[in-house]
Chain A
Amino acid sequence: MASSGIKDQVAIIGMGCTRFGELWDKGVDDLLTDAATEAATSAGMSIHDIDAFWLGTMTSGVCGVTLSRPLKLDYKPVTRVENYCATGSEAFRNACYAVASGAYDTAMAIGVEKLKDTGFSGLTGIRPVGDGTDPGLSSPAAFSFLAPSYAYKYGVDRDQLKEVMGRIAFKNHQNGARNPRAQFQKEVSMETIAKAPLVAGDLGVFDCSGVSDGSAAAIICRAADAHRYCENPLYVKALSFVAGPAAGPIDPGYDYTTFEEVVRTAADAYAQAGITEPRAQLAMAEVHDCFTPTELVLMEDLGFAERGTAWKEVLEGTFDRDGDLPVNPDGGLKSFGHPIGASGLRMLFECWLQLRGEAPADRQINTVGPGRTLGLTHNLGGAPGEGVSFIGIVGTELG
């Protein structure tokens, strides 16, 4: 298998991100218009200067007209993509390849999701006509299998693990409390987290990400042209994506303590970017904390902690905003909710702010510096053992 990547061939020259939340007064069209306009302004260009568009959304629209109609784009190529919770990242990945191929000078990746109009709790999704044999478990239930399995495998007491999960939620809400774009901008005490009602298995309400509306966008050009638009662009170092064979639910060998899709994309992405010590070389990571045990397992799958040790690192504060490796400094899915199509680009937006030193002082991470200029974004779609995984790595320097 050859995955050569496109390291340093394309650059991000502008980004935009709406506030995420229960935006009762904003429709899909408004969210797209806000994110696209902000991104174009930050790149110092007009939306109509952009050559091609990739739109990521799972449930808020189906074809390219979903974007061209509200923005009144004049006969531009707009590709709508969907890849579950990695949808926003997938829009970005494809836009990058289009520019790297030389087909277009500039492209926009934009993601949007309007979840709060359905009136339902959690995600609803769109499924093809089925045969009625799917057990129909909710997403929290599917991910809740991780907690007891992890506890069992590494001999962690279930109550201890519950505290670890709570600590992850506590950390992400602490970060989100300082972020004006977050859905939840309030710190939550460990006690409140621990006492929350259960949703599935050991997962309480605060172990689950919220449901929100939002949109985010990025504009990409060839790396060589980046300084025509932007003083301090972000260079794309790695893009990796896999869809697994959905082995987990049918393979007795799967033990629900890892995401093989993530392990594969991490190895691929690190190879593309030339990373050998992710924990030391990355300045930050935005990971898919859909549920707190997901973030726990990801710390090991992404190589940030040895197998069986992430729970200790979490309690020691390794991944706090002021820790060795800040994870989800913007507050993550926990604080932003998860408008599917937008989340991947929202993660990238945090790299855009933090790596370029544009985050407000009260939440700027202190890990960025000479020799540590890279940020990682990670999306996971589906459920443990049956999903897709995306990893992107961006940095402020070429080479």
Chain B
Amino acid sequence: MSGGIAAWGTYLPYWRLQRSSIAGTLGSGGGRGSRAVASHDEDTTTLGVEAGRRALAVGPGPGAVQDLFLSTPDPGYLDKTSATTVHAALGLGRASGAYDFAGSSRSAVATLLQALALAGAGGRGRTTLAVLSDLRTGLAGSAEERDSGDGAAAFVCAPEGEVAEMVGRGSASDEFLDRWRVPGDADSHVWEERFGEELYVPLAREAFAAALKDAGLAEGDIDHAIVTGLHVRAVKATVSGLGARDGVLAPDLTGSVGNLGAAHAGVALCDVLERAEPGQVIAVLSLADGADAFILRTTDALPDAQRARAEAGVPSVAEQVAAGRDDLTYATFLTWRGQLRREPPRRPDPERPGAPTVHRSEEWKYGFVASRCLVCGFRHMPPTRACLSCHAIDQMQAERLADVPGTVATFTIDHLAYSMSPPVVGVIVDFDGGGRYRCEMTDVRASELSIGDRVAMTFRRVWTAQGVHNYFWKARPAGGSAADPDGERGE
């Protein structure tokens, strides 16, 4: 055992923007295919939480995680750590570390490499959850807007139980101006494409060669090759230079979900892990201000992990790609991204939550932890000290319900409540095993919702007020109805 990737998870948001709808509104631009779009209540932190939940659903689980790394070029905060939000939402132990690796998209690959290095550190290996998350915008009508996508990938890297181990890596670095963004700006700038292409291709070749040498392998030994980067032309040129044999090159996913930036290599790697066989060699080559290549070999533990994920209902990349909802209008997309300032309801803006108030309810707000009465068994959401049913006080046991499904008892459509995407859908959810909670529903069209529908909880950024992000859980459709449990709507 040398350590490696022990579990993985991805999250692709539900919504897709058809590129043709851009041209339909602006009169030009657009193109074929679609891109994944984070909803108005998602950011890189919440995308990361969802990917993290899936990585922890099977395998070592949350109790094993010693460090959490969150990498994104679009962090929810500067100065304040966003990884602590992910840490709290995943219910990780207080004794584990939580760190941001923010900045350039190259940081994401470095984060995974660092987690793999820690896992394989001899007898002192550490178990790390590495979360790679990105949410990419761009000016209206730009190639960036059209070609990018939103998503996250997460890897549990552990000293044992690995399904893929690192067998070699190589890097090449150079200082040049290809893609850049000044902090605070929403959109990136790019230099003339041919300049970057000319620099990237040799860097990629050098990094890949170094990784192969480090692994003691030849190009022909590679079973799955992943080449990613935000510089589309450079990636294409690199791929054609590889001359990989048929079936080796992994699908690049950009046609259906877009280029996921910092998350893309991770999501593509997860996609390969979901299909690979034991003993196969996977090469990942990432182009970002230089190039990084690393080579993994899958282990005999992979099939068991694949089976456990399927049994637990953890959605694969392919399933998420197929399940996306592609009738999002371009006007709604622009509104969600803050590019179209719409008339708000004639209601007061929300007030930022208080720091001490939030901290006191940390387990509830971030971990969705309820309380169950030890005397009579009644479940309380939010957790309370006094029991509604039997009036016992301080006889409660904490219960995390983030992963417990529920059923819609009733619902309403609120045209008056504050939201970046009105109307708000309010639902009363009765949870399996007891407990009722009234909350907002997301990733749903109200006209398609029915009493009895099954729902799951999802971590979202409810709103931002006075510079403070308000994170909490919402319900989303889980497919099927209590009256018709076999009815599937998919993920």
Chain A interface residues (CB < 8 Å from chain B): 118-122, 124, 127, 129-133, 135-138, 140-141, 144-145, 148-149, 152, 198-201, 245, 247, 249-252, 254, 256
Q: A138-B347, A201-B412 are in contact. List 18 more A-B contacts (CB 8 A).
A: A121-B346, A127-B351, A131-B360, A131-B361, A132-B353, A135-B438, A136-B418, A137-B417, A141-B412, A141-B424, A148-B451, A152-B451, A198-B413, A200-B412, A245-B388, A251-B436, A252-B435, A252-B436
Checking A145, A149, A250 against B388 with a beta-carbon cut-off of 8 angstroms, the contacting residue is A250
Interface string of B424-438 (1 = CB under 8 A from A): 101010100011111
The 9 A-B residue pairs whose C-beta atoms are closest, nearest first, are A132-B353, A141-B414, A129-B354, A132-B470, A201-B412, A138-B416, A121-B346, A131-B361, A144-B412
Give the docked Cα–Cα distance between A119 and B414 (Å). Answer: 20
Give the docked Cα–Cα distance between A148 and B446 (Å). Answer: 14
Give the docked Cα–Cα distance between A29 and B409 (Å). Answer: 46
What is the interface of chain A mostly: helix, strand, loop, or mixed?
loop
Q: Are A145 and B348 in touch, CB under 8 angstroms?
A: no
Chain B interface residues (CB < 8 Å from chain A): 345-348, 350-351, 353-354, 357-358, 360-361, 364-365, 380-382, 388, 409-410, 412-418, 424, 426, 428, 430, 434-440, 451, 462, 470-472
Asked if A133 meets B350 with Cβ closer than 8 Å, knowing A141-B412, A145-B410, the reply is no
Checking B348, B353, B364, B382 against A124 with a beta-carbon cut-off of 8 angstroms, the contacting residue is B348
Question: What total count of A-B pairs have CB within 8 Å?
Answer: 115
Give the docked Cα–Cα distance between A18 and B272 (Å). Answer: 74
Q: Are A122 and B380 in touch, CB under 8 angstroms?
A: no
Chain A contacts for B424, CB-based, 8 A:
135-137, 141
Asked if A130 meets B353 with Cβ closer than 8 Å, knowing A200-B413, A251-B436, the reply is yes
Query: Most B CB atoms within 10 A — which of A118, A120, A140, A252?
Result: A252
Give the docked Cα–Cα distance between A135 and B425 (Å). Answer: 10
Give the docked Cα–Cα distance between A131 and B409 (Å). Answer: 25
Asked if A121 meets B428 with Cβ closer than 8 Å, knowing A131-B360, A250-B436, the reply is no
Q: Are B416 and A121 in touch, CB under 8 angstroms?
A: yes
Chain B contacts for A152, CB-based, 8 A:
451
Q: Which residue of B lies closest to A386 (CB)?
A: B438
Checking B348, B350, B438, B451 against A249 with a beta-carbon cut-off of 8 angstroms, the contacting residue is B438
Query: Most B CB atoms within 10 A — which of A133, A138, A152, A252?
Result: A133
Give the docked Cα–Cα distance between A201 and B388 (Å). Answer: 29
Query: Most A CB atoms within 10 A — which of B347, B365, B388, B418?
Result: B347
Q: Are B462 and A132 in touch, CB under 8 angstroms?
A: yes
Give the docked Cα–Cα distance between A120 and B418 (Å). Answer: 12
Q: Which residue of B lies closest to A208 (CB)?
A: B416
Chain A contacts for B380, CB-based, 8 A:
250
Checking B353, B381, B412 against A250 with a beta-carbon cut-off of 8 angstroms, the contacting residue is B381
Q: Are B348 and A201 in touch, CB under 8 angstroms?
A: no
Q: Which residue of A lies closest to B356 (CB)?
A: A129
Checking A127, A133, A149 against B472 with a beta-carbon cut-off of 8 angstroms, the contacting residue is A133
Chain A: minimal CB distance from B24 (Å): 28
Chain B: minimal CB distance from A195 (Å): 16
Q: Are A145 and B412 in touch, CB under 8 angstroms?
A: yes
Q: Are A199 and B416 in touch, CB under 8 angstroms?
A: yes
Chain A: minimal CB distance from B316 (Å): 32
Chain A contacts for B414, CB-based, 8 A:
137-138, 140-141, 144, 200-201
Query: Most A CB atoms within 10 A — which of B345, B346, B413, B430?
Result: B413
Q: Are A135 and B440 in touch, CB under 8 angstroms?
A: yes
Chain B contacts for A136, CB-based, 8 A:
350, 417-418, 424, 440
Chain A: minimal CB distance from B110 (Å): 33
Chain A: minimal CB distance from B72 (Å): 22
Q: Are B434 and A137 in touch, CB under 8 angstroms?
A: no
Checking B347, B365, B426, B435 against A133 with a beta-carbon cut-off of 8 angstroms, the contacting residue is B365
Q: Are A138 and B388 in touch, CB under 8 angstroms?
A: no
Q: Are A250 and B426 in touch, CB under 8 angstroms?
A: no
Can you give 21 contacting A-B residue pairs, CB < 8 Å?
A: A119-B346, A127-B351, A129-B353, A132-B365, A133-B364, A135-B424, A136-B418, A136-B424, A137-B417, A137-B438, A138-B347, A138-B417, A141-B412, A141-B413, A198-B415, A200-B413, A249-B436, A249-B437, A252-B430, A252-B434, A252-B436
Give the docked Cα–Cα distance between A368 and B357 (Å). Answer: 54
Q: Are B416 and A200 in touch, CB under 8 angstroms?
A: yes
